[in-house]
Amino acid sequence: MPASELIRATACQLVERLRSGEITPHHLLDALESRIADVDGKVNALPTLCFDRARAHADRLMKLPVEKRGLLAGMPVPIKDLTDVAGVLTTQGSPIFKDNVAAKSNIVVENLEANGGIVYAKSNTPEFGAGAQTFNEVFGATLNPWNLSRSASGSSGGAAAALASGTAWLAHGTDVGGSLRNPASFCGIVGMRPSIGRVAHTPNGMIDRTLSADGPMARNVEDLALLLDAMSGEHPGDPLSLPRLPTSFLTAARSGTKPKRVAYSPDLGISPVDPEVADITRKAAQRLTEAGVIVEEAHPDLRETAECAHALRAFDYAITKSKLLRQHRDLLKPEVIWNIEEGLKLSMADIERAEAQRVTLTNRALAFFETYDLLLCPTTIVGPFPVEQRYLAECNGTKFDSYVGWLIIVSAITLICSPALSIPCGFNRENLPIGLQIVGPPRSEGRVLAAGRILEDIFGFSNQVPIDPRPAS
């Protein structure tokens, strides 16, 4: 089978061929290595490659009977460079760790490999995942394959750009303030932040660190559901992790189960939004009526989001990064220093207030989901902006007072503990992708994926990537 045909195939198709013996993991690794050589120099999505390790893993996997090769059966998966892979350079996008080779893999990597995933690369990320714009002092910036002058967003920008440019079929990402949803929107692929505990990971800083979640990214909803199946499940090393569900996420995505009533909001009542993005996402949400779904404009009361998100994000940085500030301040970028220092300024009263606000926001959202099956809104409030911008400073006449101000529409969903899927729903006047965020109540990934699959069929965008990187225009 020609490498070009393999690159364009879906992950679900390739897993079937792996299980039938029509292809082997080595065929896929060879195709990826060739594709990376052709296009990654333009986008800088996968700065660290580990093909020797991947081929050794493939050799071991092929010695097992097909039924023991796991759900992914030998599918290659890149891991975000925030996450440890044993024996592989893991920089976190920081000069502090530019030579750091991990001794042990993160639990999420161990689970993926146990389920037949083969790690062949690390995807680019901003320093410590901060900023929703993928650039760092170690590897430089990741560019958007749809227009090489534009941002791929972040912090899982390398993963999204790899999927869009055909150097990955599936990818691992992480998400606090939209870190896998934002790049999914900018790069025209799909990304899901799952519920707390759905994907087990190695605790960092504190056991109950619930703002951050590991999740799947892919080119279409079915492939993403397959990867979520391979990533999910409880692990004793992560006390918050959840057991596998009796019905697979891939089955749920393919079920055709329709919501009865959904809400759409252009701004969740808390954020400015580019009028063109609001128009594109509103029209996209309304298309659910073609499937007999009631669509109404509404949103839960999320008015405390900005204050709550600011405090809890800063607290998280103070807990996990204060030591680095004390020891390596001169090597940290300004945004990271600011966030740590904001956390160190917090009083116990500030933290008490923020945690109470999160409880209130979550309870309001749960009440909202008693009326609406799902909530739809833009994933990002603008289309892909120039890659030279460190972050979005203004939208529709509103200036943001920090580098995270433009992320409130995704941060709100993080706070209410909901799973959220970003799918491409249209293009702006510059022919750049726009994402629609599909949100459900906690632990409703199957419901969200089923609706995403229905909308994907309506939009006809399931095979729009991979593309060859397109010059700046």
Q: Give pLDDT tens digits for 437-447.
A: 999 999 999 99
Chain-centroid distance of CA 473 in Å reads 27
Q: Give dist(CA 157, CA 185) in Å, integer.
A: 10
Give mean pLDDT, residues 251-257. Answer: 98
Q: Is 138 left (phi over 0), alpha (psi -120 to 50) or beta?
A: alpha
Asked if pLDDT for residue 24 goes beyond 80, the answer is yes
Q: What is the pLDDT of residue 131?
A: 87
Please list the helix, strand and coil fractions of the chain in percent, rounded to the nearest 5, in that order.
Answer: 40, 20, 40
Give mean pLDDT, residues 176-190. Answer: 98
Q: Give dist(CA 138, CA 93) in Å, integer.
A: 6
Q: What is the pLDDT of residue 423?
A: 98
Give mean pLDDT, residues 302-330. Answer: 97
Residue that wins the pLDDT comparison between 2 and 6:
6
Q: What is the pLDDT of residue 40?
A: 98
**165 close to 466: Cβ distance less than 8 angstroms:** yes
Q: What is the DSSP code (8-state) at residue 78?
A: E
pLDDT digits (tens, 9 = 90+) for 392-439: 999 999 999 999 999 999 999 999 999 999 999 999 999 999 999 999
Residues sharing a CB contact under 8 Å with residue 334, sequence separation 6 or more, in sequence order? none
- Residue 348's SS3 state is helix
**421 close to 192: Cβ distance less than 8 angstroms:** yes
Give the number of other Cβ atoms within 10 Å of residue 338's Cβ.
Answer: 17
Q: What is the pLDDT of residue 297?
A: 98
* Tokens of residue 266, six digits: 């252009």
Give mean pLDDT, residues 58-77. Answer: 98
> Is 206 exposed, middle or buried (CB count within 10 Å of its CB: 0-12, 13-18, 19+)?
exposed
* Tokens of residue 460, six digits: 């006809």
DSSP β-bridge partners for residue 199: 233
Rounded percentage of the chain residues whose pLDDT exceeds 90: 98
Helices of type H across 144-302? 157-165, 181-187, 221-231, 249-253, 275-286
User: What's phi and psi for 48, nearest 5 deg?
Assistant: -120, 120
Only one residue has tokens 């650039």, namely 135
Give mean pLDDT, residues 306-317. Answer: 98
Q: Give dist(CA 166, CA 308) in Å, integer.
A: 38
Q: Which amino acid is at 46?
A: L
298 band by pLDDT with thresholds 50, 70 and 90: very high
Give mean pLDDT, residues 452-469. Answer: 96
Helices of type H across 232-304? 249-253, 275-286
Asked if pLDDT for residue 2 goes beyond 90, the answer is no
Q: Give dist(CA 255, CA 257) in Å, integer.
A: 5
Q: What is the DSSP code (8-state) at residue 88?
A: S
1 band by pLDDT with thresholds 50, 70 and 90: confident
Q: What is the pLDDT of residue 473?
A: 76
**189 close to 416: Cβ distance less than 8 angstroms:** no
Q: Give the Å distances, CA to CA, from 52 to 30, 223, 361.
A: 11, 26, 48
Q: Give the Å distances, CA to CA, from 432 to 101, 157, 182, 187, 234.
A: 37, 15, 14, 8, 38
- Residue 74's SS3 state is coil
Domains of the chain (ranges plus CATH)? Answer: 3-459 (3.90.1300.10)
Range 69-93 burial, b when 16+ CB lie within 10 A, else e: bbbbbbbbbbbbbbbbbbebbbbbb
Q: Which amino acid is at 128?
A: F
pLDDT digits (tens, 9 = 90+) for 124-166: 999 999 989 999 999 999 999 999 999 999 999 999 999 999 9
